[in-house]
Amino acid sequence: MIATYILDIIIVLALAILVITLGTRLKIPGVVGFLLTGVLVGPYGLGLVRDADMVEVLAEIGIIFLLFTIGMQFSFKTLLEMKKIVIVAGTLQVALTILAVYAIMYFFGTPAGSALLFGFLICHSSTTITLKIFQDRAEVNTPYARSTLGISLYQDIMTVPMLIAIPILAGHEADITAAMLNLGLTLLVLVSIVLAVAIWVLPRIMDKIAGVRSSEIFLLSIVLICFVITFISAKLGLSLALGAFLAGLTLSESAYFHQAFASIIPFRDIFTSFFFISIGMLLNIWFVLENPVIIIALVIGLLILKTVIAAGSTLAIGQSLRTSVLAGFALCNIGEFAFVLSGPAQEYGVLSKTNNQFFLAVAVITMALTPFIISAGPGVADRVCRLPFPDRMKAGCIPPEREKNGKPPITGHVIVIGYGLNGRHLATVAKIGNVPYVVIDLNPETVEEEQKRGEPIFFGDATNESILSHAGIEEARVLVIAINDALSTRAITRIARPMNPNLYIIARTQFLPEVKMLQGLGANEVIPEEFETSVEIFSRVLKKYLVPKGTVEQFVHEIRADSYQMLRNPAEFSADLTDLRLTIPNTEIAALKVLPGAEVAGMDLAGIEVRKKYCVSILAIRRAGEIIANPAGEMDLRAGDEAIVIGAPGDVARLSLHFHPESPAGSGSSAASGPGKTGNEE
């Protein structure tokens, strides 16, 4: 008997490896590979697995681990951080989908309980598939990915009350009010037990377990906690899945959460693979071949319905039309938690075998299509943005009215795309340096807050020409693309270059291979975070070993030259003035501002004797936004001028004292310093 079980597991795992390997080359997610494996080994396929009950037992364990890890990841802190996306957009998407499906199914004569159940099943989207695609495409931090994952998180959480509602939908409870009260009381008792364990019992137990310093004992304890709470839940008449979710919740706020989560992940992956395989085994491929027209019609109708509702829900919280369309495309599939609901629904008789086959066929097909739908999303979103929708819907795709801004157009400015950490720092520095700038961002809350503070920022999708034009790209000097979205970075670079051939484009990217592509699209400089992080790490390591600062800087200069030079045409290289710090030791380039009341205010350069007394050269004067290069000796300095100077740090520091009203004029200190006296001698 044991040998038969082992043989079945060998067959399942071997075929799964083969199918997923082929799927990886075709860029099909692993979840779809597991479903196809189930179809092949199941009774409606090749019939290779003799004991389907064994696979179902492993699948049940998979559901337990899946809900356990979801519970561990859930916390009220997560909800607060993404409250608008999770609570508002998530509620809209789930509620509207359930209502729409219920209305359609009820119209075609489906009983109310079954119609509502189909709403429960269809409102779910696959977090597993979409997250994997976002990770592969380096788009996890993009606005549409955050919206997608926030709504998916809400869907996952809503699985729990839906599981509780299935027996009521089945009509097993004659007195629904009494049943709800009984269920609520049972749930209250269980949650109270879980909270008591999480607050008072678990921390003490986990401290002692961790104190043993045994990874085996730690892992076994985590699994034991999961199974104990799941067992208690089952004994109280609640589902195993709900118990597993609550078990994960007990560990979500624990100090040992991260280690517990990392320890349980391999078990979750193994057993959830059997869960998806068991779902595939239930799909009758001959049923699909007998009903192709109906299934294809259901797939198309479902994709359109879910895309429109998800996009509308995202649009309702103020996201741009393009972001909303992309989120709608990512959420149009049916998710794995729908299968968690379909099992109990069949047991209670709410879901018939025929309807279950239709559901399985549609779910598997939408999952398989998801990677291709997400890939097609940007092109479709761009076309949608060109349609004649009302201006309110096209927020982010069309520029705001200039009259409402009340500010005249600017020239020679910097356009900053994205107001994250990099964008904020750049804006701060630009403000200090009196450099004009405009910021474009896709987060409506950020834009609203910063506009109140007086920031020159507006809401818009910079992949649209009209948005860039509103920011004055034709008259801008520099464009900085400081966003995480690789796809949008490419699109913005490609659009911006022909709009202003003289524009200096600086793009940020996460990975070094993106540099060559972005430069080919027209970027002048591409800063790869991956490479710059490595430079920062090795420079700090060398400094810890007391390697001289000049040597470290020389290493950084050489490595940057070697690494970046491989990705650009040598003819395009031009030395920067700041490279003098590397080639000429003890040199500083600084901008000294003439403050009102300063000693040098009203004096000409010859009278100050900058070169003779301080060994400093003035390269240029910046006055009212105009640069006066190589100024003559008879030129006078005025309050508000900025002198761009070069010299030894100590000499520059001595000279800078005379640019402030408190400078010691005539005191004989720095003013009397001769050319040979440095700042270190003072």
The beta-carbon contacts of 546-552 under 8 Å, at least 24 apart in sequence, are: 550/585
Range(s) for CATH 3.40.50.720 in the chain?
Answer: 402-574
Note the CATH number of domain 53-384.
1.20.1530.20
Q: Which amino acid is at 468?
A: L
Cite the beta strand spans of 326-431 per DSSP E.
414-417
How far from the centroid of its chain's Cα atoms is residue 396's Cα? 19
Residue 663 pLDDT class (50, 70, 90 cuts)? very low
* Contact between residue 299 and residue 365 where contact means Cβ atoms under 8 Å apart: yes
Instruction: Give the C-alpha separation, 658 to 598, whole Å.
Output: 6
* Contact between residue 483 and residue 417 where contact means Cβ atoms under 8 Å apart: yes
Note the CATH number of domain 581-681.
3.30.70.1450
pLDDT of residue 428: 87
| SS3 state of residue 349 | coil
pLDDT, tens digit, 9 for 90 and up, residues 412-434: 899 999 998 888 888 888 888 78
pLDDT of residue 398: 65
Determine which of 26-40, 61-75, 224-238, 603-617 has the lowest per-residue pLDDT on average: 61-75
Which range has highest mean pLDDT (8-12, 290-294, 346-350, 381-385)?
A: 290-294
Q: List Cα–Cα distances, 106 to 93, 110, 141, 227, 536, in angstroms.
A: 20, 5, 40, 39, 62
pLDDT of residue 563: 53
Report whether pLDDT(682) > 70.
Answer: no
Instruction: Give the C-alpha separation, 75 to 63, whole Å.
Output: 20
pLDDT, tens digit, 9 for 90 and up, residues 557-613: 766 666 555 444 433 444 445 445 545 556 777 888 888 888 888 888 888 888 888
- State the chain's mean pLDDT as an integer: 80
Residue 399 pLDDT class (50, 70, 90 cuts)? low
pLDDT, tens digit, 9 for 90 and up, residues 261-319: 888 888 878 887 888 888 888 888 889 999 999 999 999 999 999 999 999 999 988 88
Section 399-403 average pLDDT: 56
Instruction: Give the C-alpha separation, 258 to 251, whole Å.
Output: 9
Q: Which amino acid is at 284?
A: N
Residue 555 pLDDT class (50, 70, 90 cuts)? confident
Q: What percent of the chain has pLDDT over 70?
A: 84
Q: Is 119 exposed, middle or buried (0-12, 13-18, 19+ CB in 10 A)?
A: buried
Right CATH for 402-574 from 3.40.50.720, 3.90.550.10, 1.10.3720.10, 3.90.1150.10:
3.40.50.720
Nearby residues of 396 by Cβ (< 8 Å), 6 or more positions away: 319, 320, 321, 322, 323, 442, 459, 460, 461, 464, 467
- Residue 330's nearest CA partner among 280, 386, 372, 285 is 372
Instruction: Give the C-alpha separation, 78 to 253, whole Å.
Output: 11
Range(s) for CATH 1.20.1530.20 in the chain?
Answer: 53-384
pLDDT, tens digit, 9 for 90 and up, residues 512-523: 778 888 988 999
Determine which of 103-107, 111-115, 175-179, 322-326 has the lowest per-residue pLDDT on average: 175-179
Report whether pLDDT(671) > 60.
Answer: no
Range(s) for CATH 3.30.70.1450 in the chain?
Answer: 581-681
Report whether pLDDT(394) > 70.
Answer: no
- Three-class DSSP labels, 253-316: CCCCHHHHHHHHHHHHHHHHHHHHHHHHHHCCHHHHHHCHHHHHHHHHHHHHHHHHHHHHHHHH
Instruction: Give the C-alpha separation, 300 to 288, whole Å.
Output: 15
Q: Which amino acid is at 633?
A: G
Sign of CA dihedral 59, 61, 64, 70: negative
Give the other-Cβ count within 10 Å of 434's Cβ.
13
pLDDT, tens digit, 9 for 90 and up, residues 54-88: 777 877 888 788 778 877 766 656 656 677 788 89
Report whether pLDDT(672) > 80.
Answer: no
pLDDT of residue 549: 67
Torsion of CA 514, 519, 521, 522, to 10 degrees: 150
pLDDT of residue 470: 87
- Residue 167's nearest CA partner among 242, 94, 82 is 242
Instruction: Give the C-alpha separation, 60 to 340, whole Å.
Output: 9
pLDDT of residue 100: 96
* Contact between residue 207 and residue 230 where contact means Cβ atoms under 8 Å apart: no
